[in-house]
Structure 1
Amino acid sequence: MSQPPAPYLGSNELLDVLTRSKDATAIYSSEDLHISFVSDAMLRIWGKDRSVVGKTFEQALPEIVGQPFTRLLQMVWRTGETYTATDTPATLEIEGILTTSYFDFEYRAFRNASGETYCLLHTATDVSERVTNRRAVQEATTQLHQTQEGLHQSHSELNEVQQAARQLRAQADESEFKYRSVIDQSPAAIIIFRGPELYIDAANAPMLQLLDQPATIIGHPLLTAIPELAGQPACELLYDIYKTGKPAYGYETPVQLKRNGQVETSYFNFSYTPLIEGGQITGIVDMAVEVTEQVKARHGLEQALAAGRALANKLTESESRLQSIINTMAEGMGIINNAGDIVFVNPMAQRILGLHTDEITQRTYGDARWQNLRLDGTLLPDEEHPMAVMMAAQKPVYDMEIGVQPPDAERFYISINAAPLYDADGNLNGGVATFMDVTQRRKMLNQLTESESRFRKLVEQAPVAILVFRGEAMVFDVVNDNMLKVLGKDKSIVGRTLLEGLPEIAGQPVLDALYRVYHTGEPFTGHDIPVNLNRNGKSEECYFNVSYTPLFEGDRITGVLEVASEVTVQVLAHKAVEQAEEQLRLAIASAELGTWSINAETRQFIPSPRLKELFGYHPNEEMPYEAALDQVAADHRARVSEAVEAAITHNESYELEYPIIGYHDGKERWVRATGRLYAATSSSAAHFSGTIQDITDRKLDEQRRLDFIGIVSHELRSPLTSLNGYVQMLSLKAKKDEDLPGRDILVKAQRQIDRMRSLISGFLDVARIGEGKIQLNCTCFDMAELVKQAEEESLATVTSHRVIFHPVEHTPVKADRDKIEQVLLNFINNAVKYSPQGSDINVSCTSNGPTVKVCVSDQGMGIAPPDQPHVFGRFYRVESERMKLTKGFGIGLYICKEIIEKHHGSIGVNSVPDKGSEFWFELPL
């Protein structure tokens, strides 16, 4: 398992480490050698405190004047070349006493990209002890050399003694005694070996002490007496000398000896001198001086020096890294002293503040040359500045934002972290601050605030009900007036939790959906959701279409946006429609109506069992649309097919009566079909549906009426023609006889004959229409003239009402003038018949684009809405108490409708009961 990366030290921590380091360090920031930084170790060397920071080198150390160090530092500043020195004496005033110490030191310059020096790094190590030790070693070495020279002299004397011994063998014993006495009494450690196996012939006390051996080793071979010497270079050298006869000398030679029961390495200066007797090597004289302590001292000194150099290199490297980090920091960095003066800034600080180092270090953090501002734009007092707050509390401050207004630049904002700095004694010694430019972040926050404000305004002004919940507890954060109206609450719920503001919501499914969105982050949309609410002091079951949308801040869900639309009326209406549809189905079943549905896209035909039965099919038998159309009588089939297609394609009305022939039984039936095109919904495709009713009995009855009317009309025309002739003859006679009373009676008789003739013509028209024999005699004429003619006739015949004819512009049309006049007069006569005497009847004729519209309005009894669609039906009469007093056959409006439709026009009525009716027709121009 991999370990997480170690955290990086911040600049404050690195400066603190550098301050407390054992390595003596100082930083000078100008050619005059102003001290910008000094470590505790350097202060101890100088014998000074932190008051030297900000002073020049010679101001801080006046005793240094006249010594070469100021000149060397300034030379390094100008040349940029590092200067290193060792064992250099320096005289400093320590606790009031001038003291000379020795130092290894280095002066190193740091330059910017332009090659300009911006600081000097001064590192130093006190090596006074090392110099003293080296001098002691040198003195000990001198003594050793003097001892060795004495040994050489002793060897020379020994050779002379040996020569004398060869010459004076007679005096050998005495000489031997004297020789051994010299060895025993010598202060130097001496041992004499004899023979090739190096028997120990003699060893004085210093040598025995040096070897940590007893005198009993004398007489034994060297390796028997001291076996640990086997294989060591010093021992092997003895055997070589015995063979070669050449003396040897050793300096600081390591030898492993067993001392105090432990084998340890010691160091010796020695001389090996061969003993020659009669020209033969008979032994070796070994004189030795132990220098273990000196060697160890020198080794320790060398290790100390190496460690010092390594530490100095490490310090240099650390300082270089620290300086590199400070120079490349993405944040600005500055250091102040206790007076608030800025004594150091890094390059990023210069870039953010738009000033050079020299311009910044001449100021305090509260300098009037830059205006420090609060976030609201007002001036920031000096005591509220983050550096002042930090210095006063002597505690770090974090993420304090202020504005800065330079005199000739755009305002910017910085976020400051500041921490106090302390000297080695724990005294406050200024502070360090890091800061970053947060202008863009501040602008984004301002934009976010404005955006949130706009969002709140949008929510509050939205035409739909919207609210925003925040947090796990679902606190009402934003609720617009529409939502408050829906919930039956007021603004007091804002800031309260959902269950506090709407306690009745507890346990309802909508609450679970809301929390599910908050916890999963998945939006929810619901339709016709039932919710029980306490509104206006009573519990109501309401229905809503809702959408719940999670609100995110980063990857964290912070709330839910709810948009709701109350559909209680629609849902209840839908339920009512469903109920009505069920009732309709029952009514259809009771009325034995057939139904059908045709998919507007696929043309799939779905007939009901009753419709199949009417078309002569078995209820369970398949009946495609084409098969059903085939059962329509041949002379009506095209009309039915075209009407169906027009209803599906152009959404035209569909209401037809036509005969069909049963598929299996061959029976002819008349049916009445009504239908319409229903638009597509979310749950169903567009479809053409309707009902079909068996009207065979009604058609037979109508046919009998028509037959009767035709017969009666024909039978009445001949006597009426004769009667008309008689009345005309009598009128001529009365006129000739000037029989005024007779003439009046005959005029009335003629009027009744004309009414009878009109009635018979109507009956004949109905018969012709039923047989499809009505013909049009179309000519071009002016509608203004036709209306004028109708006005003249009405003025002559209508005296019970005021008929008002509105002006008509020249409007040429092509139509059957007589039949159009018949329709207009029928409208006027009906208005007279069904409106109270003395009331107004308005007649107008206006052109509207491609059509001309004629309207006749009255102030009569009006027509109830259920009767209005049927008033143009054949033989249809409105059934009411008032209508019982008015006679009629229900054929006049039917004839009008057929005439207008023959002209490819339209006809209709607009009526309000007890206020009057307006009958109108339109003709194409």
Structure 2
Amino acid sequence: MQQADQPKNKDYPFLKGGGEMGELMRTTDWSVTALGTPDAWPQSLRTTLSIILNSKFPMFLWWGPELVCFYNDAYRPSLGQHGKHPSILGMPAHLAWPEIWNTIKPLINQVLAGGEATWSEDQLIPIYRNGKIEDVYWTFSYSPVADESGDTAGVFVTCTETTAKIVANKQLEETNRHLKVAREADRLIQKKLQENDNNLRLIILQAPVAIAIFRGPDYVVEIANARALELWGRRLPEVLNKPILQTMPELLDQGIKQLLDNVFNTGEVFSAKELPVQLFRNRKMTTAYIDFVYEPLYDAEGVINGIITIGTEVTTQVTTRKRIEESATEFQAINEELVAANEELAATNEELTETQWHLQQLVVEIEKSESRFRSLVQQAPVAICLLRGRELVFEAANDKMQFMLGKDASIIGKPFEEAVPELKGQSFFKLLDDVFTTGENYYGNETPAVINHKGQLINGYFNFIYQPIKNDDGITTAVMVVSIEVTEQVNARKKVEQAEEMLRFALEAANIGTWYINADTRELKTTPRLRELFGYDVDKEMTFDEAIGQVTEDFRDKILEQIDDAIFNGGNYDFTYTMRRFNDGQLIWLRSLGKLSRDHENEFTTFSGVVMDITEQKQDEQRKSDFIGMVSHELKTPLTSLTAIVQVLNMKLKNSEDSFIAGALDKANIQVKKMGTMINGFLNISRLESGKIHVAKEHFDIVQLLTEMMDEVKLTVSSHTISLAPYDHIEVYADRDKIGSVISNLLTNAVKYSPKGKYIEVQCVVIDNNVQVSVKDEGMGIKPQDINKLFDRYYRVETAHTRHISGFGIGLYLSSEIIHRHDGEIWVESESGKGSTFYFSLPL
């Protein structure tokens, strides 16, 4: 589609906006298309294009018989680079989408024919973009667009490309498949390792020649078969897990240690034929002739850590041959015997050679198994080490174990006591020895230890397992240690325990009891301090029904309602009530606060809180109310007389020419009224708290009452304009005088606390079967931290602006109590520095 030389279409309102695509539509020469110029386009097309251009969701439109293409900026990224954009704008659909026309044409025809919308989710529809055909997945819908005659004139497309999601899901499936294969391979490897270890032991134990494995520079016997024990003249318990030169001291002076040291230090294989060795066998020293080989064993890092010896005794053959050599005269007599012996020797040597080859293969398998085992230990996510023999020599220790102990790889080959001397005097050496001796596991949980970390002794806590490693005879040959440091967790728990202990002391010092209620079963748990407050046996647990039974009847239903509301709705619980103590029946006042909390499974099942004895506080408040009531009552009589005197003076001096007298009497009259209002407020509080205030309900027009109260305030206020939004008459059933006092209080407060504001707006509306009255001012406003306390008794907002404003903090408290006794609500909306709006509502 060619662009017009001039932006001809910018004046059409339906083409305004739309970003890049809006600009392209405005500058396109539509006269060369089947649609013609935009001024001829039907209103249905214009409306649809306006919606598409201004939408942030990907949208496309095919219009008219040729299905001319339109799309918005949100659809633009799906076309990629070096593809269809912007050439397909205004192009017929079959030319714009040739690669997928066979796929989308039936869907378009379905919409055009029947007017039914289509829906496709995660549909693979390859398109040409970014210079090539790409596999693209879409979730899309084709919907009909009707023209002015009601016929379907176009197809409206909403779509989302879901290629990234599909690709991610496929990658996830492939990853899971690989993970499953890896886990199965790991299982098979572990099984094979175990089979290799078992096969190795069986081969060694069942071999027809003497075989033994020595570990470490002390040449500790790790395994020895029956032929080796027979050759040495020893039993297995005498040599297993012990240095060979310690159990066979007769070898020390025969150069055997030098041979072993040379193999261990250089890695050179040593073999000997008919080597004479003095052995202590059958309780006497005998000379044995032995054919044997010493070969080094390596760990995963290529370090020699042991020696395998394979040998066979040839004493009989040697002595036989020597006799032949020493007695030529007997040669013929024993020739046949010698030939037989030589044949036997050859057969034995052939068998030995074959056995040595098999054992060399076995050594390779052993080294591979050990390498795999050490690799697994090294990569383990916890600290692991293997302590071999009675001396508990470090045979292996992964990096995490070395770091935990504050050591390096130099501990390998050292006994535990030598490698970790700082643990002497602690319990670990004895525990390891006990595990080695008894063959039973030991589990340590949060065990304290002092370790040397980077040259500094530090305290820590550890969870660990000492696992004995046993041979086929059930004898312990090593101990595996698996450990994890839990110092941070233990310290954190101790801090929590310390905080809980401090909280417990604080609660006891503050004479506060605590309680816990199961939200499902209503099972009650209390502290001894609470049971003491209730006069209950401190050594026995109190039930929920027992506790509720002591609440006085006037509060019992309310407290149950409050508890149920907090549990089911998840709110905070704060309730003040009276109850009779269990032991003496004394009436006490209590305040209980609680909250629903989550358990370890993140479920709201525990309702807990505290309870305080506020009897003394309530008694003080009652004495204060009695005093205020008495003083207010006593002030009422002289104030009445003063009011009469001022009124008489006004009558006598109303024609006085002295302007000061007239002004002074007006001010005196205003102050007398203020004093009367204040005294009435104190009297009403006293009556309210003593239960003597009476609500005398009647039917009256609240709009008329608002007008009267406003007129009364206007008599004494000339600094503000007070307006009432027009509304029809609204009849309510309430105490007219007391509702009037609420309105008067809100109006006078609006005047007092908006010295710089000039307008006070009053509204009265009906909302949801309630009448709602609001008084809005342009005053100093209220800070958020003061709003929740605003309706408390004697509470006043203390700021630099309010310090010089008279008042005792009783007006809003009294207004709140009056409204609540009418089953209504009272609240405030305010922003500091921008004024306040006070509301109250009454049921109709």
Shorter-chain TM-score: which interval?
0.3 to 0.5
What TM-score do you get using the length of structure 2 for normalisation?
A: 0.40
What TM-score do you get using the length of structure 1 for normalisation?
A: 0.37
